[in-house]
Amino acid sequence: MPRWPDLSRELRLWWDKQSTYPTLKQLGNRTGIPYSSLKKYFAGEKWPSEKNRQKLFNVTQLHILQHAKLPREAILSEAERKQSQPLQKRLISKKVSAELDRRLRYTSSALAKLAEGLTVSLLSVTSLLRFVHNIENDTSGKLWIHQAKMAQGLLDVLERVLRPFLESPQGIETLRSELSGPDAGYLSGLLAALFDDRRLSNWKAMTTYKYGDSRREG
């Protein structure tokens, strides 16, 4: 619906009756009003500036264009438009926010799946390295260094993965239900014993559990 329907109606009625200007462009050339502005005036989309209002009135002699101030209808329409702008901005903001949330959820899900895939790939690469290079017989120690750095990297990743769970009771419960307790205990004992030869020796002698047994049994 035009913002200023009365202006549009009066201009169109005048246009149908006059025969001096065959086209709006010729009217624009005569009045000095840009063609694009005239189209908006005739469509009721825009109210003429004071300068253009006077030019149009001189040509059309329309009562609606006689006064310098906007008619009451135009003032009310403009006020309604300005009043509706904050609501429109809020609606647009909500739509944008909803779309961003959807994309973030999708991205988060995709990254989580990628991380799972990379973890599986890393385990495969580690096993392949041991097979190809026969790391147990590595006399230079370079492969052991690579493996040790990989272990540190995995610990870093593990800490970053676990950190968000610590702030959420639901997260803690999810970890407890999804992780293998025996596997966690196995790794915990191994890591604690690594830095003391006596403890490591005792751990080797006392530990009969093999990593992953609980999941294979389940």
Q: What is the DSSP letter of 165?
A: G
The domain limits of the chain are 5-69, 179-218
Distances (CA, A) of 38 to 7, 19, 47, 73: 12, 17, 10, 20
Give the whole-angstrom CA distance, residue 37 versus residue 33: 7
Find tokens 């009217």 and name the residue: 27
Could you give the angle at the alpha carbon of 144 between the alpha carbons of 138 and 148, nearest 5°?
170
Question: What pLDDT sits at residue 66?
Answer: 85
What pLDDT score does 134 carry?
60
pLDDT of residue 24: 92
CA distance 3 to 85: 14
Scan for tokens 């008619």, then name that residue: 71
Of the CA atoms within 13 Å of residue 38, those in its CB half-sphere come to 21
The residues of the chain scoring below 70 in pLDDT are: 68-91, 116, 118-140, 217-218
